[in-house]
Structures are given as C-alpha cells and as structure tokens.
A and B are shown apart, each in its own frame.
Chain A
C-alpha cells in the first residue's frame, strides 16, 4: 500500500465516512459490470433514482446510485476520490469544485463523447455548460436545475410602504431609506452563513466591472482586485451597509436554519438576495406567502457600470463528471445522454428544478410553478454571462478565507484595502 492510501484511509475514517471499510474491492476496480454514480443526497435523488432505473432496464452495465447526504459532500468526495472507493461518475458544481481533480489528472475529458454525440454539448444552454469547462476541455454534463440569484421581496411590505421593486441601484438605496424609516429591516441577510453576504459582492462587481474582472483574478492576475472598479464596488457596498440596509444583527442570522427567509415571509424584512431555491424554501414553511406575496426581480442595474444588466450570478447547474479510471466509459457516455432526454426534463420540472437543456422550454408549462420557471429560464437564456458563485469558481481551498473576508468587510473589521489584500491572498489553483 502506498503511503497516500494509508493516509487516505485514515482521513476517510476520521471523516466518519459511512462507506465500506478501507482496502475492500473498489467500485471501479471490481465486478466489471457495474458503475457507481455518486450524488449529493437530498430531495432531488428521486429523479436520479428514476433515471438510473430507466438506464438499468436496457443496459448491460448496471448503474448503482450512491448518495452522500448533508452539506459536507465536497469534503467527503475529496477524501475518497483518489481511493479504490471512488465512484465512476460524480455530482459536482463545476468550476473550482473540479479544478483540483483535473489538475491531479483524475477526470476524463468528455470531448470524445461529444465528438460521437454532439448533443452532449449542444443540447445544453452554453452559459451553463461552460461552467464545467476547464482549460478548454469539457469535464461535466449538467444534471440538475439552474439556480440563478435574484432579488426577492415581500409584495405586501413594499405596497404598504409605497415602494416599487427597485430597477436601479439608486432606487434600491431610496427604498432602503423609506423602509428603515418605517421600522422594517430593509434587506434580510443570513450573514451567519457567510455565503449569502458573498452574493452581494458577486452582483455588484459584475454590474460595475463586468465578468472580466473576476475571471482575470481567477486566472491568477491578482492586480484585478486592486483596480478602480473593485474599489468602486466596495465603496458602494460600504454605503449600503452603513445605510442600515441589513439592520445590525445580520451576522447572527442564518439562511440555513430558515432565519432570514422567515424574516422576509413574516414581513419583518422587505428584500432578500438569494438563489432561486428561496421559493421552495419558503414554500416549505409558508405556502400561501410563497404563492401570493413572494415577488422576484433581477438584481438592480448600476448606471455607468460595464457589466451587462442581464448578467446573472449563482449556481449555473450541477454536473456529472467521469473519472478517468472508469472501466466502462461507453456505459458512462450512454448514461450521460439521459441528461438531455425529455423524460429527465419533465421529471426535474415536476419537482421544481429548472433544467438547462434546450428542450426545457417546450415543457415549462408542466413545471410545478410555470410562471416562476419561465421567468428564470428567460433570465438564464438571455444572460450574456452567468457567473458561477465565487466560492465555487475558486478552488475549495479558498472558500474559508473568502467567506471570512466578506463577513469582515461587512462588519467593518476589514476596510477596502484589507479586503483587496485578503482576496489577493486566495489560492487560485
């Protein structure tokens, strides 16, 4: 056994991984007629199960679906991916979540698959498909729904305050002032989770500088963070925070325990910037509000900014990537083809996910919430750029420091220069 194996086993044990013990027969090494597909464990698994069942009916090589539940998916994945327990195909977020695997030469470029079946690329919206392209090669096929970030609002609170959903940054600032005067927290923010705070940076940087600034920084040009546009974005964020837009206790509020969406639904706050899952989250605990009073708009425009006002940020989609050492690349290719099938699209829509295939449009009316699905689909389809969330575009090793920096900028522990330094210190590969 190589030392790395021993270490990996030790680490896997330490992570309390509930998979089989070390040294056993690996999925891809053993049997010969099975491939393992590893996905994030949540409510969408029922669609994945149905797709796997469908595939197994006709295929010689059977697919086994494994799930890792909970938020620590990425940690657990990284501890097994270079061991015999590694899956053949696995769920990921594209971008930085797979870059380390590509660099370690673990993943199979899908270009050969695409050469044989062009639909594996052309059947998906390009702005989404590109998230899993690394160094010019495709490494992932979209396999769930897209989740753009939008500005949600409580229609009743806005109407009572006589405020229109803001179209520009100045209108947002004016709305903040009006709402604050009425004793309502203008914007709900789950600062305790840190990533909701990051969304404000992502949009403002994109509106002011366009997607180029971030992409430059991501490719290793650390000076990108120090430019005028970066400073302008930071000063506008500072202005928003100082205006009391988020109240004072946002760092004690979380999205993940429903703290911030409850503020919105109960009318204690007027806005929340959140991914499209906001709708289903609120639907879970306050269905009437989600259906009647939950409004949504694109992020306000910033006059004079270089970014296209139609640009989006968020989770472009989730992806299936294939490991290089899989024994059955042909079967893997066949399995991936199901990700643009009509059946797949209908089933995803039925549970409220919005697939990013070109044939999605014709089935939008079968969605759980057609108006909401259509609105998002149009946003994504028309977006010249769909920026993957920063913490997923950067390598995972950068996410803790990035989250700390945004939190510390909001609470005043870091000034603009301190924030710029913190971002420049992030590892880019």
Chain B
C-alpha cells in the first residue's frame, strides 16, 4: 500500500509539470474527455487512496484484529515517537537507503555505459548481469541466506575474509549483508536504465571530442556523465523509494536482528501489526513512512531540477 502510494506520488508531480504541449497548441490537439481517466482514477482511489485513509484512521485507534477498534486519540503516535526502536529504525532505513544509492549508482553507471558499447562479448555478459533482476526478492534473499551460512556456505571456505562467519550476529556486518544483497539484486535494473540512456547520446559528441584530443576518461566525465544527468536522477529516485520501502530482504535475511539491530521502519511496521497485533501502532509507522518517502522524493526532484526536465541537447541540432 505504502509502496504504491509513494511510487505513484513522485512521478505524478513530475508529469503534472511536464505536460506542456510539445507540438502545436492545446486547441488543435483537443483534450481527451474526463471519461478516459475514470478507470485509472477509480483503481487508484480504491487501491491507494482508500487504504491510505483507512490506515490514517486506524492510526488513532487501538485494534488487535479481534475486538471492535476503539479511538485512543494520539496514543499510538505518542508511543511511536517515544519508542527508541522506532527512532533507530528511521536511522537504519536512511542508512540502508544511502548505502544503496552510494553502492549502486557508480556500479550501474559503469556497467550501463560499458553495456551500451559495441564489444563482441557485450550481449552475452549483459544477459548474465541481468539475471538477478529476473528473480524475486524472496528468492534472492533465500539464496544469499544459504550462501552466507557460516558453517556450510562461502564464509566457511574463506575464513581469511569472514573470520568466524558470524555475519548475521553483529549490527555492522548484518547491515553490510543487507546493502550487498540489495545491490546485487537491483544494480541490473539501473544498469539497464543507463545502458538505454548511454545509447541515446549522439555519436557526434564523441567524434568532436576525439578530434579535440580528449581521451576516454575525459570523454566519460565531460560527455557521458553530463548527458546521463536525467537518468541519474530517475534511477536515484527509484533507489531512494525502493530503499525506504525495503522489506522482504530484511524479513528473510535478518528478521530485524540481531536483537533490533536491523529493524528498519517497514519491517517494524510489519512486526507491530502482524506479530504483535498492534494494528494502531503499525498504521502510525506506515504513515510516517509514506510521509517521509514523499518528502524525500520531492526534495530529490526539486534539488535536481528534475521537475523542469531541462534538456541535455542544448547546442545540438
């Protein structure tokens, strides 16, 4: 529910501001009737707005799923903000999101630009890099949980690197595993975005640069990177929103442990609602997540100038 909301809210702001008519004027194209928007609006209202409103109401109620819910005013909200585990979970969520962006962005830019080239082995290797994206998060997490078993997995074979292999027993290594597995899983998606964008960079730019004597590194930093600007922002928004709503990876790999050391907000919400049957507190945490994800997405959009969608083709043509 929260995922749909936050995912939906970011692009909406964007498209709302970019729908300036490109060809001709509004008069000669003609606006489509409101009827066209009815199915999507209904769907959105039923599966995004309505649950969100219900969650908002529920956050002021005490409900264990059995008895009639009762209004308790701000109780849930007070408890949530007094709860050290909740405060910690917000920091952990932000940390994991930051790690995701910091690890995946450089990797996927390099891979994407490489995959956009014309090398002979490119198609085969790209296909292999693409595989993690085809697996569900659950499958990926189960796979890595088994691979990282301290006695029978990779750590047992590489004790020089992993020591006693107690990766899930300490906060730092458990967070490291979560960041690594997300990176392994989602880098292919972003690679794909960058591959497409890098293919779209006009060849003439590189030809001109070559004539001017620019080497491969200068070409990369002065042509490729600036040309990829909009794609970088797109991919970063996806990473941020994805990072804030990470759930399955934590559910399967660490269950928020050791103790509460990797209990991120989305997982804490699940724990409160479906493990402790405290649906009121779960709903409050869900709303905090929705608001936080929306604000962060808006900030990224504003700061990056994505909402203006400045072209990268100035001076061309």
A interface residues, Cβ below 8 angstroms from B? 2-4, 6-8, 10-11, 14-15, 72, 75, 78-79, 81-82, 100-101, 104, 106, 191-192, 194, 247-253, 257, 259, 262-263, 268, 396-401, 404, 407-408, 411, 413-414
Contact = CB atoms under 8 A, between A and B. Distances in A.
Given A4-B68, A11-B279, A75-B275, A251 B169 contact: yes
Contact of B66 (A82, A257, A268): A82
Interface in B232-285: 255, 257-260, 271, 273-279
A58 B54 CA distance: 47
A390 to B, nearest CB: 16
B47 to A, nearest CB: 10
A249 B279 contact: no
Contacts of B273: 11
B75 interface: no
Nearest to B152: A262
B259 A411 contact: yes
B69 A7 contact: yes
A259 B169 contact: no
Contact of B165 (A11, A72, A252): A252
Contact of B169 (A101, A191, A399): A191
Interface residues of B, number: 37
Given A3-B69, A4-B69, A251-B168, A396 B275 contact: yes
A72 B58 CA distance: 23
A106 B66 contact: yes
B69 A247 contact: no
Given A10-B54, A248-B164, A253-B149, A400 B275 contact: yes
Q: Say what secondary structure dominates the interface of chain A.
A: helix
A404 B275 CA distance: 13
A188 to B, nearest CB: 9
Contacts, number: 112
A22 B312 CA distance: 51
A192 B152 contact: no
A4 B63 CA distance: 9
B275 A249 contact: no
Given A250-B169, A399-B275, A400-B276, A408 B66 contact: no
B172 interface: no
Contact of B166 (A252, A408, A414): A252
Interface of B: 1, 51, 54, 58, 63-69, 145-146, 148-152, 164-169, 255, 257-260, 271, 273-279
Contacts of B255: 192, 194
A78 B63 CA distance: 12
A7 B66 contact: no
A315 B28 CA distance: 75
Contacts of B164: 247-249
Contacts of B166: 248-249, 251-252
B169 to A, nearest CB: 3
B165 A259 contact: no
B66 A262 contact: no
Given A407-B258, A413-B258, 16 more contacts: A3-B69, A4-B63, A7-B54, A7-B58, A11-B273, A72-B274, A79-B65, A100-B277, A101-B66, A104-B66, A104-B67, A106-B66, A249-B150, A249-B151, A251-B257, A253-B151
Contacts of A414: 259
